[in-house]
Chains A and B, each alone.
Chain A
């Protein structure tokens, strides 16, 4: 399972970097989305994959660490997903605004600030 996840994470990173290096603004944003997915899955696999119970422990009982899953990576991913959702929505708004103002969708044309 970890191996499959590792492959998936690698494929996502590769796809993300490929898309980011395209000249189209839309593809750039797709690339950024893939990049955040890759990072989230990476955290998930770093937390360890196993079939285990939810980490709920009765009061006074001693938890068996090998029988429950580590909840922290999932909490981290949840936070990271919310953040990347917000940031991506902002970049989409920026994309639409950029297209309205400049009429360009080609990254190479957005260079008037660098001359």
Chain B
């Protein structure tokens, strides 16, 4: 069924168009955005069900046969990522409807939200390297405007750094695509894989490094992460939550895709390098977080250290390790979005992001405290939450792969993560409130609680039903590690 593959891209695009037509009617835009996000979630789950039951789904756009046309491919990894994107999109849409101010709404907030979702879904589903570039740009331009929309000083400053570094990364990506085409005559990823498998060369390793740099910037991998903590805490919480959940993960997805399908000729060089980068990313991210005193900046630095875990599995490059990476990405997207949403709730209830001026929230709002602990402890990796299992599988894979040092790094970093989460807990919830605290402002609307509670429940559910979820990740990893099925599905037997 081709329609299932196309829907997760088409629905947000259609909603965005409808929002554009309803430019003057803000309430209508809000309704459209909420229904659209719900529809996107439903469509992405529908796709996941199909891919899980019947294997890789391929659509040749415009009926041009691969490798000449653009191919959309939904393998299990792509389908899982799209499904989580649908979930995050829906959660953030509900949260946005409750929090985003009228001025931002009037200047096309929902329109941009859906363009971003279309760009992210497109990046996950495309099977063509140049098309991936185009989807990246769709996603980026929407994120540029979302980041700057509102025009506060911090936002503009953050946006400048974000825009510059992302344009730099796009230019690198584009150059690598051009050179790859020049050296192989292919752009379809499956076709590229076949070409480079038959004729490995020094040039292909150079191109692998170019792509590693380009995607590394997007994923905020060491040493290319400085833009992230400089910009992610500046836009409204709903936007920050969306970015934290989706954007860097598209970079991670691109790394996983490219380094399991196309550049697998010299794992001793490329994947070992990724493994070292993973270790450095974890350590620098978490050390950066320990030094911070702002709720959202701490969370931003933790995104970086968590990216390290995600590419650690890719660097180990065994079926178990890649499965652990896939599981980690899914767990992380949900948990991190949730933490940002909760930081918004804290801000709404006590008027600050600064740990120093916060306090006493546990006695005032015990439920919020519990709600924070679920994703926070999951991020740190405490049993029985999803993060514990994600780390457990990575550690198992690391020990099985004989890379004890990376396991040691991962464990130390997870201790520091716990420390940093406990710092937030202690400062925001546990210590007594500031003496001259302003009386609790207006209560937070249901639209802020609902997505946060829902995502926390999903985190608990993944922890409880770890078997089936990991089994799905393991099957995704199997498709990644043995790409013949993928290539066969795309090229239809002509290899």
Contact = CB atoms under 8 A, between A and B. Distances in A.
B175 interface: yes
Contact of B234 (A35, A94, A111, A113): A113
Contacts of B233: 113
A101 B175 contact: no
A90 B168 CA distance: 15
B178 A43 contact: yes
Nearest to A75: B130
B320 interface: no
Contacts of B160: 25, 94, 98, 107, 110
Contact of A48 (B154, B158, B167, B182): B182
Interface of B is mostly: helix
A19 to B, nearest CB: 12
A11 interface: no
A59 B171 CA distance: 38
Interface in A85-111: 86-87, 90-91, 94, 97-98, 101-102, 107, 110-111
Interface string B134-164: 1001001100110010010110111111011
A91 B229 CA distance: 20
Given A83-B134, A102-B157, A32 B151 contact: no
Given A76-B130, A101-B151, A113 B163 contact: no
B151 to A, nearest CB: 6
B241 interface: no
Contacts of B141: 86-87, 90
Nearest to B130: A76
A111 B144 CA distance: 18
B231 interface: yes
Size category of the A interface is 35 or more
A35 B168 contact: yes
A97 B148 contact: yes
Interface residues of B, number: 38
A66 interface: no
B133 to A, nearest CB: 8
A111 B170 CA distance: 24
Contacts of B183: 46
A98 B154 CA distance: 10
Contacts of B133: 80
Contact of A97 (B151, B168, B170): B151
A30 interface: no
A37 to B, nearest CB: 10
Interface in B360-415: none
A46 to B, nearest CB: 3
A38 B161 CA distance: 21
Contacts of B171: 32, 35-36, 38-39
B156 A102 contact: yes
A91 B156 contact: no
A45 B182 CA distance: 8
Contacts of A110: 157, 160-161
B174 interface: yes
B322 interface: no
B23 interface: no
B226 to A, nearest CB: 9
Contacts of B430: none
A20 to B, nearest CB: 7
Contacts of A38: 171, 175
A79 interface: yes
B178 A87 contact: no
Nearest to B134: A79
Nearest to B173: A39
Which of B156, B167, B183: most chain A Cβ within 10 A? B167
Contacts of A42: 175, 178-179
A32 B179 CA distance: 20
A85 to B, nearest CB: 11
Nearest to B154: A113
B134 to A, nearest CB: 7
A72 interface: yes
Nearest to B133: A80
Nearest to B136: A83
A52 to B, nearest CB: 16
A79 B231 CA distance: 29
B448 interface: no
A15 interface: no
Contact of B178 (A39, A101, A114): A39
The 9 closest A-B pairs by CB, nearest first: A46-B182, A43-B178, A39-B174, A110-B157, A35-B171, A46-B178, A39-B175, A98-B156, A39-B171
Given A98-B160, A113-B234, 19 more contacts: A20-B164, A32-B171, A36-B171, A38-B171, A38-B175, A39-B171, A40-B174, A42-B178, A42-B179, A46-B182, A76-B181, A87-B137, A97-B148, A101-B151, A102-B157, A111-B157, A112-B157, A113-B230, A114-B230
15 contacts: A20-B164, A25-B160, A32-B168, A36-B167, A43-B178, A45-B182, A47-B181, A76-B178, A80-B133, A87-B141, A90-B144, A90-B163, A91-B167, A98-B156, A101-B156
Interface of B: 130, 133-134, 137, 140-141, 144-145, 148, 151, 153-154, 156-161, 163-164, 167-168, 170-171, 174-175, 177-179, 181-183, 187, 229-231, 233-234
Interface of A: 20, 25, 28, 32, 35-36, 38-40, 42-43, 45-48, 72-73, 76, 79-80, 83, 86-87, 90-91, 94, 97-98, 101-102, 107, 110-114
